[in-house]
Structures are given as structure tokens and as C-alpha cells.
A and B are shown apart, each in its own frame.
Chain A
Amino acid sequence: MLGFVEEILLLQLDDSQGKFVNLPMSAADVVLAGAALMELALANRVDSDLEQLILVDPSPTGDDILDDVLKHLAEGGDLTADGVLEQISVNGEKYQEMALQRLIAKGVLREENGRFLWVFRTRRYPVVDDSEQREVRARLRQLLLTDEIPDPRDVVLICLIGACGLLGLVLSPEEIARTTTRVEQLGRLDLIGQAVTKAVAKIRFIVANASSAIY
């Protein structure tokens, strides 16, 4: 089974092109940081309530991304979900690279290097084995279109794909319109997930306003 960081990275890959879907860089970093935090929460290493994150067990997990986050949490500082996300998302690019290498090592992706306009180096990550992606998408689709109670892992994935604006991967435009309340309801069930959604929305708002100010 893949971890949330790998899972959400995989879901952000456009199957046909092997490139990441368009998401502001800092938003992608927040999503990966949130995925790592929520993985730690489900492993009972971190807990949270309406006010704070609680570091339950700082001992290493053996997962280099999660251990990096644990190390950061053990240093103390602002232990609200918003504050921690802001701090660890600066490592988002590093976590992305680590997760990509894991997916390549597991045979899920392969790396292709190329040139754009014969000059600029480009990298693509075509999916070699899409069974995990297909299974996750089918499961989330079933959850969103019914009244089924989600399990905690599915709640996290719904939070993450909602924050990334990737609902179109599992639902048609008509289904997205029909399930707005359900998506919003399930996306709220994880308190760290709420903080991720809020942080990504804030970044999107800033980016949108910056763009409109330019034009």
C-alpha cells in the first residue's frame, strides 16, 4: 500500500502526459506536507484537536519523509495545524522528489528525461502500473456517490484531492455539481485536512489576485 504522500503525488500526475496537473507550487507543497502529517496522525504519532497538534510519539517510523516531519515537530515551536503546515511545506519539493524516487523504485512510475525546444531539460513520469490509481479512484467515486461512511484513510484522500481541485479525476462535471455538499462534508472530517484545504484556498486566492493585478 502506498502512503498518502505517494498516493496524492500519483493522483496529481496526468496519465496521458506523465506531467503534474497545474497547481500553484506552494499549494502543491502544502498538500504534500498535509499528506505527511495526516499519515502520522493515522499512525498515532500525532493527534490534534480544535486548538493544536500534539506530538504523541517522536520515535522514527523508518519512513524518511515522515521522520523528517517528526523531527521538525519535536523541535517545538508553533504546534497549530496551520503553523506546522506552513513550516514543513518549505520542504515540499524535497518530499516530492523523495516520493517520486520511491514510486519509480516500486515500479509504479518511470522517469523520462527530454528537451523542450532542444534547450530546456524536461522530466516526465509516465505511469507504468496504474492499478493503485484505478483502485483509489473507484473507491472514492463509490464513497462520494453514496451515503457510505468513509474509513479514515479515505477521508484523508478526499481532503487532499478536494484541496488539489482533482475531483474531476473521480467524478464527471455533472456528478461534481451534484455532490458538492457531500464532498464538503467528508472533507471536513479530518481537522488537519481542514487546515490543508484552508491553506491551499488561501494560496489560490493570492495567486488569482496577483494575476488579476498584473492584467
Chain B
Amino acid sequence: MEFAQDQVGDVAIVKLAGRLDSSTAQPAEASFTQMLGSGTPRLAVDLSRLEYISSAGLRVLLVVAKKVQQAKGKMVLFGLVPNVREVFSVSGFDKIFAIQSDADAAVASVR
């Protein structure tokens, strides 16, 4: 799995690519934690190149979302491919996370 970070103004954009599952969950969580640091995070997560997500991957996003909430920040996901969107829908994660269709809408929603 690839974890890349970009910055648009005060919004951090994290791009996840490949598979987010039990073998990649721990390094992904560590990367998010390192990135969040202190302050009030504004985070947009690009999932357009994420091909697969398992329960372990969903838990990483849940843990990150909780940290962002505790820091009174904002987090949004965007670009979900159909099979990832299906996992979000069946598991109800689409009701927990703010989800936007593209980067512009995502960045605007957390500003």
C-alpha cells in the first residue's frame, strides 16, 4: 500500500493506494498518527486508488477519525471506487464518515 501526503492550504490530503488490510493496517495507522501530530487537523483522504479495504483497514480509518474528532478537526474521504464504496455501505461506515466525490468538494468541506 502507498501512503502519500500533499497539502492544499491548511488541508492535508492523504492519498492511499493499493490494499488496506491486515498486512498494511499498522504502517498506515502509524503514518496517519505521525502526520496528525498536534493542532487541529483538516484532513481529506483520497481513496481513488485504493483497490481493496478489509475490516482491519476500516478500523484504521475509524481510529484516525476518532483522533481527528478529539482534536476538534475535520476529516473527509473522497474518490471511493465501487467495491470500496460497497464495503462502506454494507458496514455503515458511509454514515460515520463525510464522503465527497472529488478533491475540490472534499477540500472545501473541511475548510
The reply to whether B56 and A47 form a contact with Cβ atoms under 8 Å apart is: yes
Contact partners of A47 in chain B: CB under 8 A = 21-22, 54-56
Query: By DSSP majority rule, is chain B's interface helix, strand, loop, or mixed?
Result: helix
In whole angstroms, how far apart are the Cα atoms of A48 and B91 in the complex? 12
The reply to whether B22 and A44 form a contact with Cβ atoms under 8 Å apart is: yes
Q: How many A-B Cβ pairs are below 8 Å? A: 63
The reply to whether B55 and A48 form a contact with Cβ atoms under 8 Å apart is: yes
A66: Cβ under 8 A from any B Cβ: no
The reply to whether A188 and B92 form a contact with Cβ atoms under 8 Å apart is: yes
Query: Among residues 148 to 171 in chain A, which have CB atoms less than 8 Å away from a CB atom of chain B?
Result: 148-152, 155
Contact partners of B95 in chain A: CB under 8 A = 185
Query: Among residues 47 to 72 in chain B, which have CB atoms less than 8 Å away from a CB atom of chain A?
Result: 52-56, 58-59, 62-63, 65-66, 69
A54: Cβ under 8 A from any B Cβ: yes
- Flag the segment in A106-114, A130-138, A189-197, A205-213 that touches B: A189-197
In whole angstroms, how far apart are the Cα atoms of A188 and B21 in the complex? 19
B8: Cβ under 8 A from any A Cβ: no
A203: Cβ under 8 A from any B Cβ: no
CB distance from A120 to the nearest CB of B (A): 44
The reply to whether A189 and B93 form a contact with Cβ atoms under 8 Å apart is: yes
The reply to whether B87 and A49 form a contact with Cβ atoms under 8 Å apart is: yes
Contact partners of B63 in chain A: CB under 8 A = 151-152
Within 8 Å by CB of A185, from B62, B69, B96, lies: B96
Asked if A189 meets B66 with Cβ closer than 8 Å, knowing A47-B54, A48-B54, the reply is: no
* 8 A-B interface contacts by CB (under 8 A): A47-B21, A50-B90, A54-B22, A56-B23, A149-B62, A149-B65, A149-B96, A194-B90
Contacts from B to A (Cβ < 8 Å): 21-23, 25-26, 52-56, 58-59, 62-63, 65-66, 69, 86-87, 90-93, 95-96
Contacts from A to B (Cβ < 8 Å): 41-42, 44, 47-50, 54, 56, 148-152, 155, 185-186, 188-192, 194
